[in-house]
Structure 1
Amino acid sequence: MAVGSAAADAAGGAPAARPGQADSRAAEGPSLTGSAKLYRSAGDNIHFSFDARFRADQGPLDARGTFRFSHVFPNGTSGFAEGRIDCLITGGKIATASGIVTRTDRPGLKGKRVGFSVSDHGRHDRLGYSWATDDPAKTKDLPPCAASAPFEILESGDFTVVPWRVRH
């Protein structure tokens, strides 16, 4: 079951970078921000939002921030979760993040790690999550920054990925 962010989170999203702007934003450090509604032909209302970042002089396991997701089914039943980001890795326009659920209405999900992936293509972004084939509460011992490929299509909203400029 996909569980997704509060409806209020869906409308916004971080503005897309203009040419040349990405370099100045990268100086602030790698990040994943924004919110979106997933496309579902059956009428499900699924939202995700992220506000995650880490300083470039630190590493992915020093990431901080929040995530939210909610899923309202056509029959009116629903579920939600929110939590704190514990890992973020970005490269180009791709991000993989994970976090620990701190608040939810789903039995067995609080305290579990869940993972997310985002492919940032302006208003044609894609999203993936670690529970793509099962209930997120059943994920056992998920390591930091683990998620499925970004297979979901957005109906509305936008995510912004600022890449990690690794110094070699």
Structure 2
Amino acid sequence: MSRIAFTPTRVAVLGAAVLLTAGAAGVAVASGEDVTHPGKRIGTQDAAHPAPAAKDAAAAKAKPREAAALTGSAKLFRKTTEDITFTFDAHLAARHNADPSKATGTFKFVHLEKPGGKGGWATGRIDCLLTGGKVASATGIITKTNIKEMNGSRVGFSVHDQGKKDRLGYSWAAVGGPDGTKKLTKCNSAAPFEQVKKGTGDFHVQPWKLPYPDPR
């Protein structure tokens, strides 16, 4: 997922624009006149036609909260030169709250012998996501990798979001590496036993609201 990089010049321009906007608002308040409708006094907004800000706030409040999410990127702690990074962008839409297997998104993991060195990597699509409190369990199908035997297999991940002291686990913990299985049960993984390396990133888990059945 790309992000816009603000150069110092662009930041300065945006800052000036904010200051200019604030200055215009100050003039309007001082004069008691609505700058968007010259001649109209402030405070005479028609109740039947709420201000744009009020409309935006109401729309945001009405937007459904997604059922669950696991996002972020971080490196695992190692005492060796190994460089291991996991990245997640997994989401369960509100309309699929009762079916974690409808989760969508992506994952990526890279394991190098040292930064910039040789190693393996894989990317794929998420096919299940469950979260409880600040713990997430997810699985996905590997769609691209430099290790042929892993392509098309299902792998699992677990994350404990502890505010930059996160932990992570993976389905191949007991076998030494992804073994190419396609039979792994959805949303299945090992406990989050690994530690995240300080200062290398952070994971974020949005709790799932379990849809308990209504009493009869």
TM-score between the two structures when normalised by the length of structure 1: 0.81
1:34 equivalent in alignment to 2:36: no
Percentage identity across aligned positions? Answer: 51
Q: In structure 2, how many angstroms separate the alpha carbons of the residues matched to 1:130 and 1:145?
A: 10
Of the candidates 80, 85, 102, which is equivalent to residue 47 of structure 1? 85
Q: Secondary structure of the residue that 2:95 maps to in structure 1?
A: coil
Q: Which runs of 4+ in 1 moved over 6 A?
A: none
CA distance in 1, matches of 2:74, 2:120: 17
Mapped partners of 2:148, 2:66: distance in 1 = 38
Q: Greater helix percent: which structure?
A: 2
Structure holding more strand per residue = 1
Instruction: Output the aligned Cα RMSD.
Output: 2.1
- 1:145, distance to aligned residue in structure 2 (A): 0.7
Find 1:131's aligned residue among 172, 191, 215. 172
2:45 is aligned to none
Q: CA deviation at 1:90?
A: 0.5
- Structure 1 residue ranges without an equivalent (≥5): 1-7, 9-25
CA contact (8 A) 1:34 1:157 kept: yes
Alpha-carbon offset, residue 97 of structure 1: 0.2
Equivalent positions of 1:86-125 (< 5 A) are 86-125=127-166
In 1, Cα distance between equivalents of 2:102 and 2:192: 23
2:199 aligned with 1:158: no
Give the residue type in structure 2 aligned to 1:50. F
Deviation at 1:138, TM superposition (A): 4.3
Larger radius of gyration: 2
TM-superposed deviation, 1:77:
2.3
1:66 aligns to 2:106 (yes or no): yes
The superposition leaves residues 71-124 of structure 1 with CA deviations (integer Å, 9 ceiling, x where unpaired) of: 001493200000000000001000000000000001210000000000000100
Superimposed CA distance per residue, residues 2-39 of structure 1 (whole angstroms, 9 cap, x where no aligned partner)? xxxxxx9xxxxxxxxxxxxxxxxx92320000000001
1:84 touches 1:100 (CA, 8 Å); kept in 2?
Answer: yes
